[in-house]
Amino acid sequence: MKFIKKLKEDLEKKAAERKRKVEDNKRSSYIRTKWRKEKKAKKEKRVKHGPGYYLSKAGINIDTKKLSKIIFNICIGINLVITALVLVYFSKSYGYSLYYIFCYGCLMGVVL
């Protein structure tokens, strides 16, 4: 009889422990999903500011489209100057005329 009672108590303890573990897992998964939802809400709430925001914050009021156009045109000009310098360098160092380099470049552009 004592053995059966002890066995029954052990089984009840194990069942209660399993039930507690399942509840703990449910609680922890609920906490994890809640945390993920909060994190996602914070991420969606964040706003990406453009350069206009920071310029206006600094007290500089300028149209960002106009500014980007000016920067783009400056970059194009720098690119043209560097290209011209490279062409002149190759024409001087290898002894080719600029006409030859230009014609060869045009010919390669048509062939390719």
Q: What are the pLDDT digits (tens) for 29-55?
A: 767 777 788 888 877 777 777 778 888
Residue 20 confidence (pLDDT) = 75
Model confidence, pTM? 0.47
**Is the pLDDT reported for residue 112 higher than 60?**
no
Phi, psi of 59 (to 5 degrees): 95, 10
- Check residue 1 and give its pLDDT: 67
Burial zone of 87 (CB within 10 Å; 0-12 exposed, 13-18 middle, 19+ buried): middle
Among residues 73, 110, 103, 109, the alpha carbon closest in space to that of 87 is found at 103
pLDDT in tens, 55-90: 888 888 888 889 889 999 999 999 999 988 988 888
At residue 60, the pLDDT reads: 84
Q: 61: closest CA among 49, 70, 52? A: 52
Take residue 10 and report the two structure tokens written for it. Answer: 């052990």
User: Is it the case that residue 19 has pLDDT exceeding 80?
Assistant: no
pLDDT confidence of 26, banded at 50, 70, 90?
low
